[in-house]
Structure 1
Amino acid sequence: MSDAEPPGDFLDPASPPKRTLLLSTGGAVIIAAVIVFAAVLPAEYNQDPLGLGRATGLSRLWAPKEITVSAHAAAGPLARRQPATFRTDTFEIALAADGDEGRRNALEFKVRLPKGSTLVYSWQAEGLQVPENLLFDFHGHTVAAEAKGAVSVAEYEKGSGAEAHGSLVAPVDGIHGWYFRNRSGQPIKVRVRLSGFYQLVPSGQEGNLAGIQPETTPPSVAQR
Structure 2
Amino acid sequence: MFNSQAPAPGDLPSSKQLVKSTVIAAAAAAVILVTVVLPSEYGIDPTGTGSMLGLTEMGEIKTQLAEEAEADLKKTQEMQVPAATGATTQQGSGLMDRLIHEFGVRAAFAQEMRQDEMSVALKPGEATEIKLTMTKGAKATYEWIAEGGVVNFDMHADGNSGETTSYEKGRAKPSGSGELEAAFDGKHGWFWRNRTDADVTIKLKTSGAYSDIKKVM
Indicate the structure (1 or 2) with the bigger Cα radius of gyration. Answer: 1
Greater helix percent: which structure? 2
